[in-house]
């Protein structure tokens, strides 16, 4: 049965076991197996021959709560609504449909009129933690 070792492993479980059971000096074992003396000392001290787990000690979830997701979706819709002007279709006057008009040549940095509701939504989005928006600059 094959072993799965990480990319930087310099020893196998058999070598580690031999190091742990050997009475030779660190220098002699390091020379025999072609590894650093610190590596030999590390495996002599350990009780097992398995690699220690790597990565963060506590898993950090990237899943949003329902409230956070709702705020982000609402902000995305509000942003899209501000950037895409809407007008009623002229070909179908009886229809209640709304179509997207052509974009105006106004620059994107131009302030957009918004009410208290829009301002409150933007404040909620700004209040979310930076882990949700790692690209956001303050």
* pLDDT tens figures, 16-47: 999 999 999 999 999 999 999 999 999 999 99
Instruction: Answer yes or no: pTM beyond 0.75.
Output: no
Which residue matches tokens 């021959």?
A: 49
pLDDT the model gives residue 121: 74
Strands (E), 17-128: 86-87, 99-100
Give the span between the Cα atoms of 38 and 51, in whole angstroms.
15
For 6, the token pair is: 């990480």
- pLDDT confidence band for 126 (50 / 70 / 90): confident
The mean pLDDT value for 89-118 works out to 57
Higher pLDDT, 68 or 90: 68
pLDDT the model gives residue 118: 74
User: Would you list the domain boundaries of the chain?
Assistant: 1-51, 59-90+114-132
pLDDT the model gives residue 19: 92
Strand pairing class (86-87; 99-100): antiparallel
């Amino acid at each position: 049965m094959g072993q799965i070792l990480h990319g930087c492993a310099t020893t196998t479980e058999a070598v580690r076991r031999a190091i742990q059971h050997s009475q030779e000096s660190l220098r002699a074992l390091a020379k025999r197996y072609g590894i650093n003396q610190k590596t030999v000392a590390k495996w002599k001290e350990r009780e097992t021959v398995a690699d220690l787990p790597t990565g963060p000690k506590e898993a950090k979830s990237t899943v949003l709560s329902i409230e956070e997701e709702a705020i982000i979706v609402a902000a995305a819709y509000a942003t899209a609504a501000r950037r895409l002007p809407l007008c009623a279709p002229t070909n179908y006057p009886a229809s209640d449909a709304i179509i997207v008009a052509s974009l105006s040549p106004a620059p994107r940095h131009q302030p957009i009129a918004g009410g208290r509701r829009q301002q409150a939504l933007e404040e909620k989005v700004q209040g979310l933690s930076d882990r949700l928006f790692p690209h956001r600059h303050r």
